[in-house]
A and B are shown apart, each in its own frame.
Chain A
């Protein structure tokens, strides 16, 4: 699996590089948005591990994603952040990242997440699952009526998100709900798609609303 690391801290990059598992081949490192875009086009890695906060650009990681929008089909992005702020995280997800993990994740966790993203599935941390539940109004009991509906989660998706927010790994979610891991991954990918395509919540708006509550 060929991976490009994008983070402005060289110490962090080298530390992470040393921690990643043997299945990961780091083909390049970038420190700025411009450099990242250039390397993505040049190297065509399988996965880009993308820091949400990059210096010298307004949009940070989201900007890299926007400028690489044409490649999103072949190159997958996994967002990496120290941030807890909903706007930052949901911003990169909506721009096209396939998942989000925190910087305090261990090397093994990052490796696992990279593998998941490389195989086409989505990576949700408990915190991101929490954001999603909030964004789709689950606390108010809202539920999708049909499969096609983008603005609300189905009952099953809600269950999966809740378990992930409670700290369950995919295989634990599968065991808990008596479904296969593949099905869990399908649900998570569906939620990711809804998060990216839903027009219901302009996410800064709901973040504000959430603050007001």
Chain B
């Protein structure tokens, strides 16, 4: 199963439309999309608008791969569960979010080899074709870095 998710905050029609077109063209039946409040309704994949957090994690668990916006929560969840993830960042100039922070986030994770990134729909389609070859990056643990935890502990204990 390929789990497609755009988070709960804002619609992301551009991503859903592109993945839906790809599903139609390839005839793949095993996609499930969480589309938020987007007005574009997929024709070639099962979809829902919102998913409760517990169920959300379960869908990640069950998925072979994740296709998503470049939200931090989505990326971290995929990395925690060791799932390959392809992201397309939202763009500020298209009012898909308030600025280009997802582009910057995607670039950083891409540099670290942790996620695959498509910066536009054309590239998304190409990368979807290669999705089966996408390897998950090393699973990350469930905790912040020792440095950050230690800084917080020191501060809290000094109170």
The answer to whether A and B assemble together is no
Instruction: Please give the residue numbers on chain B whose beta carbons come within 8 Å of chain A beta carbons, in ascending order.
Output: none
